[in-house]
Amino acid sequence: MADTKYIFVTGGVTSSLGKGIIAASLAKLLQARGYKATIQKLDPYINVDPGTLNPYEHGECYVTDDGAETDLDLGHYERFLNVRTSQANNVTTGRIYQSVIEKERKGEFLGKTVQVVPHITNEIKERIQILGNSGEYDIVITEIGGTVGDIESLPYIEAVRQLMWELGDNNGIVVHLTLVPFLSAAGELKTKPTQHSVKTLMESGIKADILVCRTEHDLSDDLREKLALFCNVRREAVIQSIDASTIYDVPKLMLAEGLDKVALKKLDLPEKNHPDLENWDAFLERHKNPKHEVTIGLVGKYVELQDSYKSILESFIHAGAENEVSVKVETIHSEYIDEATIKNKISHLDGILVAPGFGERGIEGKVDTVRYAREHKIPFLGICLGMQMAVIEFARNVLGLKDANSTEMVQDTPYPVIDLMEEQKDITDKGGTMRLGAWKCVLKENSLAREIYGEETIMERHRHRYEFNDKYKEQIEAAGLKATGYNPDTGLVEIVELPGHPWFIGVQYHPEYKSTVASPHPLFVAFVKAALKYKKEKNSATLA
């Protein structure tokens, strides 16, 4: 066994307490002290990955460089730590069972009854230790999805119990995140739900080492003493996690509470240096003290749930801070955009982003939106489906190819300007079969994309089945919409832009997956800058 130490993060009382943010914040602090830390998320659902889930179910599906479709918490890990995650960082019950069943079919357990304990729990333990055994990390933080007491989580909790025992003292600790609710009628914070959830954990043989308590009000000393005594943790291991105005405040709040110090002490590791958070602080300073404001419309069909576009919203925070601009994102439902409503919904915006998506619902509103942005010269960024809509709009309204469409929406469209790739045509399985992960893209000289990236070859992450149809490339380019980025191996078009328009770009890939606090994505940075320029020019024109 490598020398790696393990921190397990469990949750109690309710879901949605932000285990991912606490895990990412703790990892950030450990990283800032000079430790190599990574995070893993174990999800107790039976889907093999979240790729087949509707965003309304579980929020955005995040994609890693190696093409894994993963939980959106991995996005937080990358954004906080600025390190790449991979397939190994997200494991679901579906994947665990799939692999155990495959082994059973191969005869690896020949003669044995295959059971949750030990076969499923062993598989979980193996998956937890893959990252640790790679030798790349000093500390692996494993977040167990769900809430203790859930039927689904039981095998994970048992695997953690066994692993804690196998790892031995000071090599593994459990951080338990709970809620300390405020009862306004009584005017009091209540500790009982936390006591119960710690007890539930105990019944499974796990003792929490550190309690992180989500709360709307400060925990008094008395309350901390009480929690320590009744939950059987040291006084300094009762950590308050008070509601913050931004998730990016959480690492500093955890630092002030000493979460990293207690964790290191329990793992018998030295504190090393005081966390170096200079760049983080500089980012927060810019984020909280913007000099300007822009309003950007995010046009999509999953807008009712903010988590559906998590990475895009976070990318705007990074790009806004970089430009010292507060980016107000106005989410607009594409289904309700039509000729009658468009002016009202769109004309005041300083920039328009047409979002990724699947299926037919709401696409005509997206096409109308692109047209408005193109004709009124409003800065425009189309991502994935948004880029495809830009091509369709151009084909219909500039080239006059009436009813041009993607074969995803209308199979027998007369002008399939967006079509299925040849190698996708025989695929019928839905899970994990799209064009996924990082692919190379070459940027043409003298293009806006090349200017923005400042490099000739980039790597960006993909998640789609349909592509710009090469058959229409010449015709579309001749009419003015230029293909300025392409895949050097397949020739597939990855970027379109409109010279003559102040800022109009559509990208087949997802830039939002790669934006981090330490390294805001250049495309978002340039988009926000273009929106600000547009706003200033619009204002000076009205004044004149």
Under the binding rule (CB under 6 A), the answer on residue 72 touching ligand GLN is no
Q: Which stretch binds ligand GLN (CB under 6 A): 130-138, 271-279, 346-354, 460-468?
A: 460-468
Q: Which stretch binds ligand GLN (CB under 6 A): 180-188, 298-306, 371-379, 459-467?
A: 459-467
CB of 463 to ligand GLN, least distance (A): 5
Q: Which two tokens stand for residue 520?
A: 């805001």
Position 428: which residue type? Answer: T
Q: What are phi and psi of 452, to 5 degrees?
A: -65, -45
By C-beta, is 230 or 358 nearer to ligand GLN? 358
Under the binding rule (CB under 6 A), the answer on residue 65 touching ligand GLN is no
CB of 229 to ligand GLN, least distance (A): 51
Under the binding rule (CB under 6 A), the answer on residue 385 touching ligand GLN is yes
By C-beta, is 3 or 412 nearer to ligand GLN? 412
Position 254: which residue type? Answer: M
Assign 167 to helix, strand or coil: helix
Q: Does 205 carry a binding-site annotation? A: no
Q: Is 384 a catalytic residue?
A: yes
Q: Which two tokens stand for residue 364?
A: 């005509």
Q: Quote helix, strand, coil % in the chain, to nearest 5.
A: 40, 20, 35
CB of 359 to ligand GLN, least distance (A): 7
CB of 70 to ligand GLN, least distance (A): 15
* Sequence-separated (6 or more) residues with CB below 8 Å from residue 56: 302, 304, 305, 308
- Helical H segments across 243-309, by residue range: 250-257, 259-266, 278-288
Q: Which stretch binds ligand GLN (CB under 6 A): 78-86, 299-307, 322-330, 463-471?
A: 463-471
**Among 384, 476, 526, 530, interactor with ligand GLN by CB under 6 A:** 384
Under the binding rule (CB under 6 A), the answer on residue 370 touching ligand GLN is no
Q: By C-alpha distance, which of 7, 8, 19 is closest to 213?
A: 19
* Sequence-separated (6 or more) residues with CB below 8 Å from residue 414: 401, 402, 403, 404
Q: Is 375 a catalytic residue?
A: no
Residues 193-252 that bind ligand GLN (CB under 6 A): none
By C-beta, is 318 or 461 nearer to ligand GLN? 461
Q: Does 385 carry a binding-site annotation? A: yes
Q: By C-alpha distance, which of 156, 202, 177, 197 is closest to 41?
A: 156
Q: Is 58 a catalytic residue?
A: no
Under the binding rule (CB under 6 A), the answer on residue 463 touching ligand GLN is yes
Rounded Cα distance, 274 and 498, in Å: 49
Q: Does 480 carry a binding-site annotation? A: no
Which of these is catalytic: 384, 441, 494, 521? 384
Under the binding rule (CB under 6 A), the answer on residue 465 touching ligand GLN is yes
Q: Which two tokens stand for residue 482?
A: 């230029």
Assign 473 to helix, strand or coil: helix
Under the binding rule (CB under 6 A), the answer on residue 52 touching ligand GLN is no
**Among 358, 397, 470, 533, interactor with ligand GLN by CB under 6 A:** 358
By C-beta, is 65 or 209 nearer to ligand GLN? 65
**Among 76, 95, 464, 482, interactor with ligand GLN by CB under 6 A:** 464
Rounded Cα distance, 171 and 6, in Å: 6
Whether residue 45 contacts residue 93, with contact meaning beta carbons closer than 8 Å, is answered with: yes
Rounded Cα distance, 143 and 174, in Å: 10
Q: By C-alpha distance, which of 449, 297, 447, 483 is closest to 378?
A: 297
Under the binding rule (CB under 6 A), the answer on residue 408 touching ligand GLN is yes
Under the binding rule (CB under 6 A), the answer on residue 466 touching ligand GLN is yes
Q: Which two tokens stand for residue 324?
A: 């010292």
Q: Does 226 carry a binding-site annotation? A: yes
CB of 210 to ligand GLN, least distance (A): 39
H/E run at residue 155 = helix 154-167
- Helical H segments across 299-442, by residue range: 310-323, 342-346, 363-375, 385-397
By C-beta, is 347 or 411 nearer to ligand GLN? 411
Under the binding rule (CB under 6 A), the answer on residue 337 touching ligand GLN is no
Residues annotated as part of the active site? 384, 510, 512
Residue ranges for the known binding site for ATP are 16-21, 73, 244
- Contact residues: ligand GLN, CB under 6 A: 356-358, 384-385, 408, 463-466
Binding site as annotated, residues for CTP? 15, 150-152, 190-195, 226
- Binding-site positions for UTP: 15, 190-195, 226
